[in-house]
Amino acid sequence: MTVVSCPTCGKKVEWTEANKYRPFCSERCKKIDLGAWAEEKYSIPGAAPTDNPDEPPTEG
């Protein structure tokens, strides 16, 4: 059996099909995480958009 930590509260959670909220421990923790994404508290790094779509992105 695989056990992971809930990304929101850190509680140990069994990674099984019976846990419909995996990797979260509960619906509450799942909604807290979704709310953080909606409030833009998390972001995925990427290149800034350019004004000219034909111009390759610059590094730096």
Known binder of ligand: residue 45?
no
Known binder of ligand: residue 29?
yes
Known binder of ligand: residue 25?
yes
Beta carbons within 8 Å of 28's beta carbon, 6+ residues apart: none
Torsion over CA: 12, 17, 23, 26 (sign): negative
Known binder of ligand: residue 44?
no
Please say whether the beta carbons of 23 and 13 come within 8 A. yes
Q: Which residues are annotated as a binding site for Zn(2+)?
A: 6, 9, 25, 29
Q: Which residues are annotated as a binding site?
A: 6, 9, 25, 29
